Structure 1
Amino acid sequence: MTPGSLYLSALGIVSALGSGIDESRTTLFGDRPADMIARDGFLPDRATILGTVTHDPEPLPENLARHDTRNNRLLWAATRQIETNITNLIADIGRDRIGVIMGTSTSGIEEGTSDYEAALDGGAFPETFLYSHQEIGSPADFLRDAFDLGGPSYAISTACSSSAKAFAAGARLISAGLCDAVLVGGVDSLCRLTVRGFDALQSVSSGICNPMSINRDGINIGEGAAIFILRRDANPGVDAIELLGVGESSDAHHPNAPHPDGRGAAMAMQNALANAKLTPADIAYINLHGTATPLNDGMEARAVCDVLGATVPASSTKPMTGHTLGAAGAIEAAMLWLSLCDAANGAPLPRHIWDGATDPEIPDINLETKPGSKLAPADRLAMMSNSFAFGGSNVSVILGRGWNRGDRA
């Protein structure tokens, strides 16, 4: 990003936390239970716990029926929450100056799987089969068509870092003068392909995932969507949430395992701090990638200690959402956004849910385990979220409020 401030002016969200800001906030910081549900049919031999959107999302409008998949229905459920903001934005700056960047890893693969099964059984694809449903770009194409937008529109698919990278890509479009605003976010829906794929890697937990515990045994897959409006704003107001910085790295250590020392993770965090022109001491909380897999948790704790120190409050929220894969970066950035909205009254912190059994092989970091914990009231605050993916694709995102470029290092 070049000098100048970028703001996240609206949020739509749906996940196992619930639908919309209010339900998500109550689950994340309050007493509403997350929709982590044992479900049959995704693994051939047993039920597995999945972060589930429990209400059936509405079909797409008739004029958008060609985009109709569960993935796009979830995205539409989140987008409808900020539809007025988007239409006002169009009236303000015009359709051609608004871009779309979405992160995803599943797209419409589940519909494609079902249609292929029908073809094998009956000798022909169903009339509803469209190959384009499976294309990674489908969510971005859908949103572009839904609002008739003329700016650049594309999807990013780098596994679990996909929608975190959308923030960096959106910032670049604005900084390059190609857009005045970008719809950024991510979406992923539950499908048999990904659940069985992670099970084949022996990475699926036998219960609710248990990040940072010596007893951790893998992830829960989840689904959901989060979408923001990213834009410059000459008069953002004191409550505006700013995209302070994004850091990316690629350590390419292994196709599906992170570097054990957390080198790529640490580099992404350092790059985010440099991009934001902040110091480690400026970070008040970090949302961990925290997948509860043996390799990820160890390397991430080392990276956090190396870059931010062992005292920064930290938590993994995946026991409340599942790992939403390509949508995880956006959904977890939304958690920072929700917390920062209350900074003046004391930003609430998502709690770290685990069994409390420490692993002597993992550095001791400051896990925020108490329900109802808050930071001290502050006019200026910055928070970080980590997303790490297959192949060593690493992203750290920093959001904040109350900052300006002159305040930074």
Structure 2
Amino acid sequence: MYLHDLGMVCALGDSKANILAGWLAGNAARPVPPDWLDSAIPAFGVLTQLPAIPTSLKQYDCRNNRLLLSVLDQIHSSVSKAMARYGAERVGIVVGTSTSGIAEGEAAVQALQAIGRMPTHYHYKQQELGGAAEFLAAYLDIRGPAYTVSTTCSSSANALASARRLIRLGVCDAVVVGGADSLCRTTLEGFFALGALSKTTCNPFSKNRDGTVIGEGAALFLMTRDPGEIALLGVGASADAYHISAPRPDGSCAYLAMQAALDDARLKPEQIDYINLHGTATWQNDAMENRAVGQLFGSDTFCSSSKPSTGHCLGAAGALEAGLCWVLLSDLHQESRLPPHLWDGEPDPDMVRLHLVGLENQSLKPLQYCLSNSFSFGGNNVSLLIGHP
């Protein structure tokens, strides 16, 4: 299926061009604790001003949906043309999220504890997981299938797989697909309780890595079967069922997901130009991914993790990182270099060597194929292969 347009927002910026430029330059804002959080947990927030939710849809008013609206605005013209061509009943929406508007729910509960009642402006739709897709469908007046996928860190990668399935099955002719996640106390303090957060910043694949840093962001694609320049060529998924939060240590199921994406696209490992690693900088996940990527691709394929620049955007990560691959393949990318892997340069002696992209300019042939990994709680693994068909 073809990915015709893309809207993105994250800690790197609020447009494809700005995000690409910052990523290629190795920019990384210093993560800081949100001003509403009582503890010193660093996070990557979106600093740009977000659009307001229309009053007619105020039951959906939450930061998560404002992130979605900001990226929808970037592709609104393309979506309108698709609706005019196919009809509102033939356009679908699939969104991935793991937080939805939990922050608004947290604020409402705090008010309940303080004054004995929920705020009058609070509505459960603000935090309901399914509210993300419902909001976009109502805003656009789309009457095709609209649903939300929530599989934690692989949510929006699974959403892209689901959108492709809707078109292949003939249910839809076009799908608005992607994901969003916003910062909230539940996520930050929950990951802190798991011992999965860094006290400073992401340092993926280093011997000194001490955890990830949570980020927020959103990305939406317009997917159709009409030929275009960039396509979702392969999808691979697997399930560890090994532990509720830890990955299978040997990386065997992550390997299966990547191999399945290659098989789906009918490509071989040596044809892949670049891998956007899941690269969370957590001790177990990096070790697992290193084994899987090393076994399948060896040490020749360029790769890096974007999380030191964006943070780990959880339910939005799959779509956002697929979007980063999309901009690398697009006409926006006119430079002969790849995004650097930001870390302290001290490899873990227990890991195999991968071809991590350095800060120096990398001269290479024009990109044809990129792979993006999303590995989630419970071992829900998704690999997306994006390229020029």
Same fold flag (TM > 0.5) = yes
Task: Return the alpha-carbon distance in structure 2 between the equivalents of residues 382 and 40 of structure 1.
Answer: 37
The 5-angstrom pairing of residues 89-108 of structure 1 reads 89-108=82-101
Determine whether 1:24 maps to 2:13: no
Tell me how far 1:21 sits from its aligned partner: 1.0
Determine whether 1:276 maps to 2:269: no
Task: Return the alpha-carbon distance in structure 2 between the equivalents of residues 160 and 178 of structure 1.
Answer: 27
Determine whether 1:14 maps to 2:13: no
The 5-angstrom pairing of residues 60-75 of structure 1 reads 60-75=53-68
Task: Return the alpha-carbon distance in structure 1 between the equivalents of residues 361 and 138 of structure 2.
Answer: 42
Q: Which letter maps to 1:25?
A: L
Task: Return the alpha-carbon distance in structure 2 between the equivalents of residues 343 and 276 of structure 1.
Answer: 24
Q: Contact 2:34–2:43 (CA<8 Å) still a contact in 1?
A: no
Give SS of 2:387's match: strand
| Matched residue, 1:39 | 33
Q: 2:370 aligns with which of 373, 377, 383?
A: 383
| Matched residue, 1:322 | 311
Give SS of 1:76's match: helix
1:43–1:264 Cα change, 3 Å = farther
TM-score when scaled to structure 2? Answer: 0.97
The 5-angstrom pairing of residues 386-397 of structure 1 reads 386-397=373-384
Q: Percent identity?
A: 46
Q: Which letter maps to 1:388?
A: F
Task: Return the alpha-carbon distance in structure 2 between the equivalents of residues 64 and 8 of structure 1.
Answer: 28
| Matched residue, 1:406 | none
The 5-angstrom pairing of residues 219-258 of structure 1 reads 219-234=212-227, 236=228, 240-258=229-247
TM-score when scaled to structure 1? Answer: 0.92
| Matched residue, 2:207 | 214
More displaced, 240-249 or 129-138?
A: 129-138
| Matched residue, 1:3 | none
Q: Which letter maps to 1:329?
A: G
| Matched residue, 1:407 | none
User: What number of residue pairs does the alignment pair up?
Assistant: 389
| Matched residue, 2:169 | 176
Q: Which letter maps to 1:63?
A: S
Q: 2:153 aligns with which of 143, 160, 168?
A: 160
| Matched residue, 1:352 | 341
Tell me how far 1:372 sits from its aligned partner: 3.4
Task: Return the alpha-carbon distance in structure 1 between the equivalents of residues 363 and 224 of structure 2.
Answer: 29
Tell me how far 1:76 sits from its aligned partner: 0.4
Q: Which letter maps to 2:354?
A: I
Tell me how far 1:151 sits from its aligned partner: 1.0
More displaced, 345-354 or 110-119?
A: 345-354
Tell me how far 1:359 sits from its aligned partner: 0.5
Render the CA deviation track for 1:179-227: whole Å, top value 9, x for unaligned. 0011110100000110000000011101111000000000100000000
Q: For structure 2, list consecutive stretches of 5 or more residues without a partner in the other structure.
A: none
1:217–1:43 Cα change, 3 Å = farther
Give SS of 2:365's match: coil
Q: For structure 1, list consecutive stretches of 5 or more residues without a partner in the other structure.
A: 1-5, 404-409
Render the CA deviation track for 1:318-363: whole Å, top value 9, x for unaligned. 0000000000001100110010114995664211000001111111
Q: 2:70 aligns with which of 48, 72, 77?
A: 77
Render the CA deviation track for 1:22-69: whole Å, top value 9, x for unaligned. 2111111136x44443125565442x3211110231211222222110
Give SS of 1:38's match: coil
Task: Return the alpha-carbon distance in structure 1 between the equivalents of residues 252 and 294 of structure 2.
Answer: 12
Q: Which letter maps to 1:336?
A: C
Determine whether 1:260 maps to 2:249: yes
Determine whether 1:53 maps to 2:46: yes
Give SS of 2:328's match: helix
Task: Return the alpha-carbon distance in structure 1 between the equivalents of residues 166 and 337 of structure 2.
Answer: 32
More displaced, 386-395 or 360-369?
A: 360-369
Q: 1:131 aligns with which of 102, 112, 124?
A: 124
Task: Return the alpha-carbon distance in structure 1 between the equivalents of residues 49 and 279 of structure 2.
Answer: 28
1:205–1:121 Cα change, 3 Å = same
1:36–1:152 Cα change, 3 Å = farther
Determine whether 1:301 maps to 2:290: yes
Give SS of 1:142's match: helix
Determine whether 1:398 maps to 2:385: yes
1:371–1:18 Cα change, 3 Å = farther
Q: Contact 2:327–2:333 (CA<8 Å) still a contact in 1?
A: no
Q: Contact 2:17–2:332 (CA<8 Å) still a contact in 1?
A: no
Give SS of 1:186's match: strand
Q: Which letter maps to 2:377?
A: F
Q: Which letter maps to 2:16?
A: I
Q: Contact 1:16–1:35 (CA<8 Å) still a contact in 2?
A: yes
